[in-house]
C-alpha cells in the first residue's frame, strides 16, 4: 500500500529523517557514489542503494551495505529482495531518488520508459523527486540522442546535475565527468528544502571592507564573511533569487547565486544601489568599516621617511544601512531590512537602539567576545531583536543560525507583501 508518512522538514537539516534512494549506474565514476552515500548518511538520511548489474562490475554492493547498514538492491529476480516486490517498496518509501552516475545507456532507457532492471523499474514507479547526475565520454554527452534523452527527462520533471569538464577516464578532455559528491548533495538539498522564499529577491552583504592607507596597507576588520555567506546559501536553498555582495574574504563563491565582489564601503554602496530597490529583503551582514583615510598615499609609506607617531586623518564612510532605512521611510516602500550588530556589551540594548535609528525590521545581534560567537568561527549565538520581541538563537553552526534568521525573514516578507509595502 502507498505510504501515508508525512515528514516535517527543518530547513536547517532538510535531509534529516529523509528516505533517499541512490541508484548507481555502470560507469567508472561508480566509485564516487560511495562518497555520495556517506554524505547523505552524515546528513541524517536513511539511504537505500540500488545498482544496475553493470555497476556491480565497478564497485561491490558490500561497500554500500557497510555504509548504509541496509541490503543493496541489484536484481528484479532476486527471490529474497523481490519476495515482497522490493523495488516498489523502495520507490514508494523514497523522499528523493538520486541516480549517480547516470550513464548514457541508463539515461536512454529511462527516457524510453523502460523498466528492465531494478533501477529503471524503481524510477518509473516512484512519486519522489528524481535527481540525475550524468557521467560519460564527452562525445556521448554531446551526441544528439543523449541531448534529446536528457531533454525528455527534464520535460518529465527530472532534475539534472550537470557533469563537470576535465580529463576523463577515457583519456579525452571535455564535459562528462560526474559532478563532485558535495555538488550532488547540494543539489539534493535544494530539491527537498522548503521553498518558502521561492521567487523572492534577496540581497545579502557579507565580509569586511578594506580602506587603503597606501598601496599595501589598509584599514579593515576581523569579519570572515561566514555568517553572510551562510545566509545567502540558505536563502538560495529556500528558493530565493539571491545576490551576494561580498567584501574581501577567503571563501569560495557559493553555487547557484550571483556574487558581486567589492573591497571598499563606497564600492559596496554602488553594488547595493544597483539591486536594493528591487529586492524583497536586504540582509546587511557585512561588517562595513565606519571610517576611511581621507588621502591614501600614492606610494608605500616608508618607516624611515615617516615622522612618528604617525597620524592618519579619517573621514566617515556612508552609513549604508541607515541610507536604506531612510529611503524606505521617505518613499513608504522598499525591501524588508535586516541589520546586524556585533557588540561587546549590552548586546540587546544596542541592537534595539540600532533597530530604531536605522529603520530596520530586525536586527541580528551577537557578542563578539563570546567564545564561539565572534569573527572567523563556524558557530554563532545571536539575538533576533524586533520592535516588540527578542528571540534568542542558542549557540549553533552558522548554517543553522542562518535558517533561524530566515525563518523570521520569511514571515516579514510575507507580511510586507500582504500590506503592499
Structural domains of the chain sorted by starting position, each given as residue range(s) with its CATH number in brackets: 19-192 (3.40.50.1950), 201-419 (3.40.50.10300)
**Is 225 a residue whose pLDDT tops 80?**
yes
pLDDT at site 1:
45
Looking at the predicted structure, is the pLDDT value of residue 366 above 50?
A: yes
Any idea what the Cα angle at residue 225 is, between residues 221 and 228, rounded to 5°?
Answer: 130
86-96 tens-digit pLDDT: 678 899 999 99
State the pLDDT at residue 15: 96
pLDDT at 5 over 70: no
Place of cell 544496475: 52
pLDDT of residue 84: 58
Which of 85-89, 293-297, 336-340 is predicted with the least confidence, judged by mean pLDDT?
A: 85-89
Residue tagged 565580509 (cell numbers): 207
Give the pLDDT confidence of 399-414 residue by residue, as tens digits: 999 999 999 999 999 9
Model confidence at 421: pLDDT above 70: no
* Torsion over CA: 36, 37, 43, 45 (sign): positive
Omega cis (within 30) before 101: yes
Assess whether pLDDT exceeds 90 at residue 125. yes
Catalytic residues: 170
pLDDT (0 to 100) of residue 111: 97
DSSP sequence for 152-165: HHHHTT-EE-PPEE
Q: By the 8 A CB rule, do 237 and 257 touch? A: no
Residue 419 confidence (pLDDT)? 83
Q: 314-323 burial string, b = 16+ CB within 10 Å, else e?
A: eeebebbbeb
Q: How confident is the model at residue 81, as a pLDDT?
A: 61
Question: Looking at per-residue confidence, does 203 or 88 come out higher?
Answer: 203
In angstroms, rounded to a whole number, what is the distance separating the alpha carbons of residues 115 and 111? 11
Identify the pLDDT of residue 364.
Answer: 97
Please write the tens of the pLDDT for every residue from 146-193: 999 999 999 999 999 999 887 766 676 778 899 999 999 999 999 999
DSSP 76-141: TT-TTTTTTTHHHHHHHH-SEEEEEEE-HHHHHHHHTT---SHHHHHHHH--S-EEEEE---HHHH
Amino acid at each position: 500500500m502507498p505510504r501515508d508518512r508525512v515528514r516535517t522538514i527543518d530547513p536547517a537539516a532538510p535531509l534529516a529523517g529523509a528516505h533517499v534512494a541512490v541508484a548507481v549506474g555502470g560507469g567508472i565514476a561508480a566509485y564516487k557514489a560511495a562518497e555520495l552515500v556517506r554524505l547523505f548518511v552524515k546528513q541524517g538520511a536513511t539511504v537505500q542503494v540500488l545498482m544496475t548489474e553493470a555497476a556491480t562490475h565497478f564497485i561491490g554492493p558490500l561497500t554500500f551495505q557497510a555504509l548504509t547498514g541496509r541490503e543493496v538492491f541489484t536484481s528484479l529476480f532476486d527471490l529474497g529482495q523481490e519476495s515482497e516486490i522490493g523495488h516498489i517498496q523502495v520507490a514508494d518509501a523514497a523522499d528523493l531518488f538520486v541516480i549517480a552516475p547516470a550513464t548514457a545507456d541508463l539515461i536512454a532507457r529511462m527516457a524510453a520508459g523502460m523498466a528492465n532492471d531494478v533501477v529503471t523499474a524503481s524510477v518509473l514507479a516512484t512519486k519522489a523527486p528524481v535527481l540525475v547526475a550524468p557521467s560519460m565520454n564527452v562525445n556521448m554527452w554531446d551526441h544528439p540522442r543523449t541531448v534529446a534523452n536528457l531533454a525528455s527527462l527534464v520535460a518529465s520533471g527530472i532534475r539534472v546535475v550537470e557533469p563537470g569538464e576535465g580529463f576523463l577516464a577515457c583519456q579525452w578532455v571535455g564535459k562528462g565527468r560526474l559532478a563532485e559528491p558535495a555538488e550532488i548533495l547540494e543539489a539534493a538539498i535544494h530539491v527537498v528544502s522548503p521553498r518558502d522564499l521561492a521567487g523572492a529577491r534577496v540581497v545579502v552583504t557579507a565580509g569586511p571592507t578594506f580602506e587603503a592607507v597606501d598601496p599595501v596597507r589598509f584599514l579593515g576588520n576581523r569579519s570572515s564573511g561566514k555568517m553572510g555567506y551562510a545566509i545567502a546559501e540558505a536563502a538560495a536553498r529556500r528558493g530565493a533569487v539571491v545576490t551576494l555582495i561580498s567584501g574581501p574574504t577567503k571563501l569560495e563563491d557559493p553555487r547557484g547565486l550571483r556574487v558581486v565582489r567589492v573591497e571598499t564601503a563606497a564600492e559596496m554602496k554602488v553594488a547595493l544601489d544597483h539591486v536594493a530597490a528591487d529586492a524583497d529583503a536586504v540582509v546587511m551582514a557585512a561588517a562595513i568599516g565606519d571610517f576611511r583615510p581621507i588621502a591614501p598615499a600614492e606610494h608605500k609609506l616608508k618607516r624611515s621617511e615617516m615622522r612618528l607617531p604617525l597620524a592618519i586623518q579619517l573621514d566617515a564612510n556612508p552609513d549604508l544601512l541607515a541610507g536604506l532605512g531612510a529611503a524606505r521611510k521617505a518613499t513608504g516602500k522598499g525591501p524588508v531590512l535586516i541589520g546586524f550588530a556585533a557588540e561587546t556589551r549590552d548586546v540587546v540594548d544596542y541592537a534595539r537602539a540600532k533597530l530604531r535609528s536605522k529603520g530596520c525590521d530586525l536586527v541580528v545581534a551577537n557578542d563578539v567576545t563570546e567564545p564561539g560567537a565572534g569573527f572567523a568561527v563556524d558557530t554563532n549565538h545571536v539575538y533576533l531583536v524586533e520592535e516588540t520581541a527578542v528571540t534568542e538563537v542558542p549557540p549553533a553552526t552558522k548554517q543553522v543560525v542562518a535558517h533561524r534568521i530566515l525563518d523570521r525573514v520569511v514571515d516579514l516578507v510575507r507580511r510586507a507583501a500582504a500590506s503592499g509595502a
